[in-house]
Structure 1
């Protein structure tokens, strides 16, 4: 009798995804860290994700194509974090119907680090909840061969959604939306990681 056991795909242990949480605002007095703390909690609650924070405000990126030595040092610190990530969660406010210049600068200084990886978008703002910034980011990441996740989390009138201690007044809706979004991120991240192991991505 053959006693060899086989594992079904459901029983195969999959390594957690390394996900970079990118905090996209660097303005003085920004609200982003409040939302980022909540979001980081949702990421840490999951056993299938290992988060690492990349805060635009803490990275002194160059604004020209000839970076000075100190700018190259900044890139040397942040680029490996993006390169080793299997997936990204980008947190963005909405400035003048789009996303911040500092976030665009971070994106533009990198290319292969984004390729064939999934990107989840979380936005915050006033009445629009940052959704116009999120839609602009979809176009940018498509150009970089990244896959943006369909479902998002958005905070409309974000300042009124959190109490003075940075806790959500009503977490039920955002928590449910975050679960849907992160479930999709894990599916895409796992699928793309496995696909690249079999056949490296070679998009034009």
Structure 2
């Protein structure tokens, strides 16, 4: 499985990036991914979407082409969203506006909400509701919420909740690997037609 972890925090060296690195370590430890990379929107922010993307603006092409290639080659994704004021960060919502040429289409994704306290559920609901329509990313029913993020997923488990979260992470990543195999067969079936049905309803 070739997997891209999309870290949606707008801050460099964020707690969400800590979660992304932990997930990548677990993927490697379980030998679930032959290739895994992190796309960190805090370290490499994208400019705000504008309609010139649709007209082939050369500046946008230069910016987006390397990322598009990574996304096209991926079999699955992990999408990590911190909770900002009960919402998905603007950088992550902006990211999903960029991809309408099948880069994410019909590929499974594991959603991960991140909260500094006891929140984290709102970004999951928001992304499930509105981030998939035209790019066709396919969120798994399973998701993760990392609460009190500063206290968990550090070098050593901090207690029962942390240990339970680590086990659930391993389970969710294993499940994502199986979804990746199944969706690969769907994409190879020939039934997907993104030229006729470019946009969702």
TM tier, smaller: 0.7 to 0.9
Whether contact under 8 Å (1:38, 1:167) holds in the other structure is no
TM-score, normalising length from structure 2?
Answer: 0.81
Moved more, 174-183 or 194-203: 194-203
State the distance in 2 between where 1:168 and 1:124 align. 17
From 90, 99, 104, give the equivalent of 1:110: 99
Cα distance per residue 1:12-54 (max 9 Å; x no partner): xxxxx11111111122563222212211111112323231211
1:1-204 paired onto structure 2 within 5 Å: 17-28=1-12, 30-49=14-33, 50-63=35-48, 64-66=50-52, 69-111=58-100, 112-143=102-133, 144-163=135-154, 167-170=156-159, 171-202=162-193, 204=197
State the distance in 2 between where 1:27 and 1:147 align. 26
Secondary structure of the structure 2 residue equivalent to 1:151: strand
Cα distance per residue 1:97-146 (max 9 Å; x no partner): 11111111111101211111111011211444411101111123441322
Matched residue count: 186
State the distance in 1 between where 2:119 and 2:113 align. 6
Cα distance per residue 1:58-113 (max 9 Å; x no partner): 33423123367554322122111111111100111001211111111111101211
State the distance in 1 between where 2:156 and 2:93 align. 29
Secondary structure of the structure 2 residue equivalent to 1:176: helix
State the distance in 2 between where 1:151 and 1:35 align. 17
Moved more, 114-123 or 178-187: 178-187
State the distance in 1 between where 2:32 and 2:24 align. 14
Mark the structure with the bigger radius of gyration. 1
Q: Higher RCO, 1 or 2 (CA under 8 Å, sep at least 6)?
A: 2
Structure 1 pair 45–107 and aligned structure 2 pair: CA distance change class (3 A): same
State the distance in 2 between where 1:65 and 1:59 align. 21
State the distance in 1 between where 2:13 and 2:36 align. 24
Structure 1 pair 59–79 and aligned structure 2 pair: CA distance change class (3 A): farther
Structure 1 residue runs of 5 or longer lacking an equivalent are: 1-16
Whether contact under 8 Å (2:45, 2:91) holds in the other structure is no
Structure 1 pair 197–155 and aligned structure 2 pair: CA distance change class (3 A): same
Aligned-residue CA RMSD in angstroms?
2.2
State the distance in 1 between where 2:193 and 2:32 align. 27
